[in-house]
Amino acid sequence: MSFVACGDTKASPDWHAANVSLAVENMILSAQSEGLGTCRVGSFDEKEVRETVKAPDNFAVLLLLAVGYAKKLDVADKFLHLARPRKSLREVASEEEFGKYLTIN
């Protein structure tokens, strides 16, 4: 199943993106609680999606959300995850100003 997340730029010109982001995050959490996986898709042709779903002009298509049953990791996937571990918080976040590394681990 897929969802097209749109924000009304006329009704909420300054906050439509934030409102849609919060709604989609709640959808992701709800799906997870039901044992489903999700994938946010941000790379798409907005005009093509707009035409497909017949969205009015005042609605911005912000992202697509695919929802389904998550794939169980097999042994090869688990080894790949070990070979490419997650980055530390220090590598992806700054403290006080951009580029100033966090002092916590």
82 in any annotated domain: no
Q: What is the pTM of this model?
A: 0.70
49 in any annotated domain: yes
Residue-wise pLDDT tens for the chain (105 aa)?
A: 899 999 999 999 999 999 999 999 999 999 999 999 999 999 999 999 999 999 999 999 999 999 999 777 677 766 776 777 777 877 778 777 777 777 765
Range of the domain at 14: 2-71
> How many domains, the chain?
1
Is beta strand 37-41 parallel, antiparallel or unpaired with respect to 59-68?
antiparallel
Helices (H), 1-105: 16-33, 46-53, 75-83, 89-92
48 in any annotated domain: yes
